[in-house]
A and B are shown apart, each in its own frame.
Chain A
Amino acid sequence: EGRLQQSGGGFVEPGGSLRLSCAASGFNFTNAWMNWVRQAPGKGLEWVARFKSKADGGAIDYAAPVKGRFTISRDDSRSTLYLQLSSLQTEDTAVYFCTTLSVFWGQGALVIVSS
């Protein structure tokens, strides 16, 4: 059975950086379009970034609020997705989920940006 296991997250001061990881198992990660979605406390879901499969061109797209500050990457040899968060702002405080946007979602990683 497929799953996504997340690691990373934590507390960081404004302007700081953090890296999230998401290890996939039990499904064909190489052919999957992988996404990061976040949810601020008490708020709705917000799409953050997507990395299409290499077979489908490998395009990367970002939501406007994070473009230029966050970097999505993937290592298909390790079946792992990453999100590098930089120049963090208090508004980036949220639970971050990795997901295929179909069946598979990670358990979420809490990122708190505060001074």
Chain B
Amino acid sequence: SYEVTQSPSVSVSPGQMARITCSGDELPRRFSYWYQQKSGQAPVLVIYEDKKRPSWIPERFSGSISGTVATLTISGAQMDDEADYYCYSTDSDDNVVFGGGTKLTVL
């Protein structure tokens, strides 16, 4: 079955750039989406269709795609950005596939 893969953790200092990646063979052909999830809360959409940002999400969040790797970039990470981040895409049957999640630590 199709899988998308994320690194388990990323750690940055406040103000630094954080990059979280998601890899999958179908990503050149299918959109990627990114969620932020803080402890005990429902996920919040931060990037959709590879690089579009909802209007309520700060401009420091951006998305990109290069080949089979989608990247969520946080320019100037803040303590409030500390959370789990999940990517998802779809397989050839249009079923949803989540990555395993990346824990972002800002310290």
Chain A residues close to B by CB (< 8 Å):
35, 37, 44-47, 50, 61, 63-64, 97, 99, 101-103, 105-108
Per a CB cutoff under 8 Å, which of A44, A101, A103, A105 touches B96?
A: A101
Q: Is the CB of B94 within 8 A of A105?
A: no
Per a CB cutoff under 8 Å, which of A37, A61, A103 touches B95?
A: A61
Q: What residues of A have a CB within 8 angstroms of the CB of B33 in the complex? A: 101
Q: Is the CB of B98 within 8 A of A46?
A: yes
| Chain B residue, CB-CB nearest to A107 | B42
* Besides A50-B96, A61-B95, A101-B88, 20 new A-B residue pairs in contact (Cβ under 8 A), listed by A number: A35-B96, A37-B96, A37-B98, A44-B86, A44-B101, A45-B35, A45-B37, A45-B86, A45-B88, A45-B101, A47-B88, A47-B95, A47-B97, A47-B98, A61-B94, A63-B95, A64-B1, A99-B43, A102-B48, A105-B44
Q: What residues of A have a CB within 8 angstroms of the CB of B96 in the complex? A: 35, 37, 47, 50, 101
Asked whether any CB of chain A lies closer than 8 Å to the CB of B83, the reply is no
| Chain A residue, CB-CB nearest to B6 | A44
Asked whether any CB of chain A lies closer than 8 Å to the CB of B93, the reply is yes
| Chain A residue, CB-CB nearest to B93 | A61
Q: What residues of B have a CB within 8 angstroms of the CB of A106 in the complex? A: 42
Pick the most buried of A45, A50, A63: most chain B CB atoms within 10 A of its CB.
A45
Asked whether any CB of chain A lies closer than 8 Å to the CB of B14, the reply is no
- How close is A39's CB to chain B, nearest CB, in angstroms? 9
Knowing A44-B86, A44-B100, A44-B101, the reply to whether A102 touches B45 (Cβ < 8 A) is yes
